[in-house]
Structure 1
């Protein structure tokens, strides 16, 4: 029993708790629309764009600056070659990546089921192959994963910037550039920030032994390891489930389904790795020369990631903008869930880069999207994005200081017209609606200062009241259908959502609400908002979709997780009601790294303190941290370690067994929309 419960707790804490910031599903395209070119809906319940949606898409085509083709030209510039394949296989045998599942976007057809602006972005993100950024010096492989992988040609080898999400896609990119430009060793790796689509492919380009020995510098911003592991641990399971909506993880790749992730097509399903860097950038500005290449790093913490940095190459007048300046305005609040970012800090860091590098840069490139060439063009994009983030912060707070609340700002805040006409400031990843609400949440919190909303009823409890007062389901359905028929989709889902919460098994109500959500999704420019509405429509019609589940961590993420973070996660995973009358203390010691902890259960709560040992502990567990990781990774059992002399247990095991039995096995399969649990 003891072995099973401890093993279970560790596996739950690590396997279920860590989720990379983005996930792909259906990378093999298996569920993709079999006939997208014929515009056949993948869902038998799916609807074509309504006349109102078609009219809105036509208005977008007439009002946005589609005559500005600079992005399209820059996305093609420097193209060298594309591989003969569109699929990249994972070592496990599944398809890790399939760019071919988006071929329908390159057929030259305008789809009324896709916002024309988003379709333009989705086409730009179909760039696939090897590109030259700076002649004979800087290259990118694009379209092999959600992010770009960049290769700087040094005196003797490649300096790699960002390594994609999976080992297999990164390895394929390295093999491809070596095939086309001549084989060169990797002499250094730079990771721009702490999101998995930028470090997960590390094992596809370097051996860990070469990093540990110092032979190959692995450079990252200070705080990288902590944030790479910790960002998604505490609420990781909930984030994982919510990601199914934001990223459309199991939506078929189709004009009616998944078309883009805004910063790239999708994310690969391969082996995600993590190797601890051997060199950190800690100063605001720090210069290194590696393999003949001079690089000045600009630290930008608290922008797109908690730990992030830009890079300036003075020899080439080239500015690497990491993920701080890409082909979209980003998320201030990420719909899957994350700490709200600071748009003012983001704007200030862009401004610093503009005045330090932008005045002389000849090319600006990044970890997503396409480069921009020419100093005037670079300054225009940098200023536009600087102003977009600053305007979001300032204009929202301007409205808030005049009484506009978090429940109103999404209908009040508008991007200035001058920025609407600049493609660089369109919110394909974020949206003005949810980002504006995030700014108020950051400064004022979720409450709108109306006492009625401070302690609201849960939707399942309040909805029946509304349904009763509105005259019952039939009247709501009739009104909802009427609103749908008039193209008043927001009004329609306002009332239909109440009905579905009140009657979660009412299939007609769910189907009508799904029809409404589908039209809203078709109209949205933001990929995340589109995916959320279309995914919700699918789940209302069919329940949570089945498919290849997203990757959640792995041995490298487990090794990178601090013992303290694991203990804190155990406190979250604990169902305190099951140990309400229990109180005990145990010591944990890991001699190989000199760490020790006191863990105490009291008042249905698990707490820990580092660097202490209790004299009155009920139980003391001693094992090396390296062996603890083996249990976490489900590679060994605790009793096996005891039998092998690698772990000792002193004291009363019974209370600890009770604690472990109270650990909740989180799985990302809970219901988000009423009546959708299968």
Structure 2
């Protein structure tokens, strides 16, 4: 029974952070681009202003230094960041291969630029050391750091580069712009938590930061994390036939993720702080790119920090790993507010991904078009929705105006026009499109069997699909082959044809995540679902920061309703260090909790919160904690084992492209 507590956090409490993954066997080789794909990619060259090289000039402006190579390892020698794997085949002077959309190739060429850059007086960035940028602002006595990357190791390497070329100075403050891990996870690489606790270093964040930073990937963490393998192409080779980049940057680092709690929370627009002689003015932007986010204006330097609310790509209103839909209309309004408050006072606009923009006129044009693209997608999607079009129909019909279509910073390298339009529909209307035929559709497997039967059998379906493949109708081929795959899971010919269609769609995709999704789908169809690698579990800092309420909410979604039906159990948790008691009840096949002990409990657990954390992190076993007296049971001990037997353990490697 004692080992059960060790499973409280097992399976699913993870950030969407990709760990290295190894295929079970040598993967099936990729196919070349077809004539149709080559022609489609060649046509892109005539549609977009590739002669405009301003972004390349901006990406290199202010360059100070870079190491000759950039491969970062952790203390055990594991590679956590390897820009060289991209640089060996992506270069500024190389044209796009046939297997890569030229627009995405251009984005990758820009994202492999790396090193230390001067943004403006006393503001510096290290770019290309992670998926995000780390920014160093020189105060009177030390550095104020904005968004210290995803991993401790990459942040430390960036700090070393700054120390080497700008002189060693202490970090006096850190600012987290928002609650996504690539903007706070590397904090332990640049400072000692003891300096925060002593008051020597301040950590500034928007209100709600901690709650969202810890909980965002908890409830649906397993499903999100599995799908993140698709979105970021975790298992794809880095090559012209595999992973090229992720749109926001090349990829994400794979090091140690930390979290040090904020000391200062910002809760209103216009709020100001002066830190080490540097004045900071904040604009709250909740519910835009993140649930908790803020922009920052630095009046002494006429510099506008846009967090991740504007980057040099169209962002996601819906992220393909799965998340709540973001508010396009609110996002556009906050960009407009930033323009009104700070645009005319800004000489440079910079942010946590990509490169800056300089000059008041260029900043005004940039922000105007960034606001416009989210407003356009919102307004036009809602207009067509009100004309009776469904999400899929809207996505097929919506077209950007030429002034946005040919604007590089609003191209769909991360978010796309199509899936963002569907997101707007989903936000307002939900999953149901109003057609009664779609109200209670058959699940994919039984539906597929009927489709294949109606279409004359699998051999006939594949015969017709191969003919359509030859014509370049890859979207339809994937749809048709999917029916055979779900009707006959062992049909290798169907899997291979579906993979071939995915592959060509991946080669044509302008969005980094779309490319990764298609190519990962092709990989799994050809090679099977992986059994190794995957995602790193939640870091020690994340687990320590979880409240008991977060833990109980997570346990509630693991409760198997069928097994729990007809059962009633009550468990008391007494956290002695927190001075808090909770009663966890299973009844009516749901788990609820109350912030007080129950006098009807079947069993009670008395322990410190850090005792539970040690068990969760594998630092000690439950038996050791019981033997040491740090964990005590009272009441009917078998009830705890009964409780744990009602909880599902999530399998990370569930099927996606196969039933």
TM-score, length of structure 2 as denominator length: 0.97
2:334 is the alignment partner of 1:349? yes
CA distance in 2: counterparts of 1:515 and 1:637, whole angstroms: 48
* Pairing 1:406-425 to 2, within 5 Å after superposition: 406-425=391-410
- Contact persistence 1:351–1:383 (CA under 8 A): yes
CA distance in 2: counterparts of 1:272 and 1:227, whole angstroms: 16
1:670 aligned residue:
654
CA distance in 1: counterparts of 2:506 and 2:554, whole angstroms: 35
1:35 aligned residue:
none
Match of 1:281 among 266, 286, 298: 266
Match of 1:293 among 275, 278, 282: 278
CA distance in 2: counterparts of 1:293 and 1:618, whole angstroms: 57
1:153 aligned residue:
138
2:479 aligned residue:
494
CA distance in 1: counterparts of 2:268 and 2:519, whole angstroms: 44
1:362 aligned residue:
347
Q: CA deviation at 1:546?
A: 5.9
User: After superposition, what is the alpha-carbon deviation per residue over 1:489-543, rounded to whole angstroms, capped at 9, x for unaligned?
Assistant: 1121121111111111111111111111111111111111111011101111111
2:248 is the alignment partner of 1:263? yes
Q: CA deviation at 1:628?
A: 1.9
2:306 is the alignment partner of 1:321? yes
2:616 is the alignment partner of 1:632? yes
2:152 is the alignment partner of 1:167? yes
User: After superposition, what is the alpha-carbon deviation per residue over 1:448-507, rounded to whole angstroms, capped at 9, x for unaligned?
Assistant: 011111111111110010101101111111111111100111121121111111111111
2:641 is the alignment partner of 1:657? yes
2:453 aligned residue:
468
User: After superposition, what is the alpha-carbon deviation per residue over 1:392-436, rounded to whole angstroms, capped at 9, x for unaligned?
Assistant: 111100000000012322211222222001111111111111111
2:74 aligned residue:
90
2:561 aligned residue:
576
2:62 is the alignment partner of 1:63? no
Cα 1:323–1:214 change in 2 (3 A) is same
- Contact persistence 2:569–2:643 (CA under 8 A): no
Other structure's SS at 1:587 match: strand
Q: CA deviation at 1:7?
A: 1.6
2:441 is the alignment partner of 1:432? no
1:6 aligned residue:
5
- Contact persistence 1:21–1:195 (CA under 8 A): no
Q: CA deviation at 1:318?
A: 0.5
1:112 aligned residue:
98
CA distance in 1: counterparts of 2:587 and 2:563, whole angstroms: 12
Other structure's SS at 1:327 match: coil
1:372 aligned residue:
357
Cα 1:169–1:603 change in 2 (3 A) is same
CA distance in 1: counterparts of 2:367 and 2:318, whole angstroms: 21
CA distance in 1: counterparts of 2:417 and 2:537, whole angstroms: 30
- Contact persistence 2:325–2:423 (CA under 8 A): yes
2:173 aligned residue:
188
2:237 aligned residue:
252
Q: CA deviation at 1:574?
A: 2.2
1:99 aligned residue:
83
Other structure's SS at 2:324 match: coil
2:130 is the alignment partner of 1:131? no
Q: CA deviation at 1:22?
A: 4.6
CA distance in 2: counterparts of 1:551 and 1:193, whole angstroms: 21
CA distance in 1: counterparts of 2:522 and 2:161, whole angstroms: 40
CA distance in 1: counterparts of 2:630 and 2:477, whole angstroms: 63
CA distance in 2: counterparts of 1:189 and 1:130, whole angstroms: 18
Cα 1:613–1:546 change in 2 (3 A) is closer
Cα 1:297–1:421 change in 2 (3 A) is same
CA distance in 2: counterparts of 1:628 and 1:499, whole angstroms: 48
CA distance in 1: counterparts of 2:522 and 2:642, whole angstroms: 42
CA distance in 1: counterparts of 2:124 and 2:587, whole angstroms: 57
Other structure's SS at 1:295 match: strand
- Contact persistence 2:17–2:536 (CA under 8 A): no
- Contact persistence 1:193–1:309 (CA under 8 A): yes
2:16 is the alignment partner of 1:50? no
1:36 aligned residue:
none
1:122 aligned residue:
108
User: After superposition, what is the alpha-carbon deviation per residue over 1:535-563, rounded to whole angstroms, capped at 9, x for unaligned?
Assistant: 10111111134664332212101011111
CA distance in 2: counterparts of 1:94 and 1:276, whole angstroms: 27
- Contact persistence 1:364–1:371 (CA under 8 A): yes
CA distance in 2: counterparts of 1:171 and 1:608, whole angstroms: 41
1:34 aligned residue:
none
2:606 is the alignment partner of 1:622? yes
CA distance in 1: counterparts of 2:266 and 2:133, whole angstroms: 22
Give the gaps of 5 or more residues in structure 1. 32-41
CA distance in 2: counterparts of 1:586 and 1:508, whole angstroms: 53
User: After superposition, what is the alpha-carbon deviation per residue over 1:326-350, rounded to whole angstroms, capped at 9, x for unaligned?
Assistant: 1111111111011110011111110
Q: CA deviation at 1:606?
A: 1.5
Q: CA deviation at 1:43?
A: 5.8
Task: Say what the alpha-carbon RMSD is for the aligned residues.
Answer: 1.5
- Contact persistence 2:346–2:360 (CA under 8 A): yes
Other structure's SS at 1:23 match: strand
- Contact persistence 1:90–1:269 (CA under 8 A): no
CA distance in 2: counterparts of 1:168 and 1:183, whole angstroms: 18
2:600 is the alignment partner of 1:595? no
Would you say how many aligned residue pairs link Structure 1 and Structure 2? 655
CA distance in 2: counterparts of 1:403 and 1:92, whole angstroms: 58
User: After superposition, what is the alpha-carbon deviation per residue over 1:652-673, rounded to whole angstroms, capped at 9, x for unaligned?
Assistant: 1112211112322223111111
Match of 1:17 among 12, 21, 24: 12
CA distance in 1: counterparts of 2:620 and 2:657, whole angstroms: 38
Other structure's SS at 2:450 match: helix
2:466 is the alignment partner of 1:481? yes
- Contact persistence 1:250–1:546 (CA under 8 A): no
Q: CA deviation at 1:317?
A: 0.4
2:539 aligned residue:
554
Other structure's SS at 1:225 match: helix
CA distance in 1: counterparts of 2:77 and 2:137, whole angstroms: 31
Other structure's SS at 1:517 match: helix
Q: CA deviation at 1:613?
A: 2.0
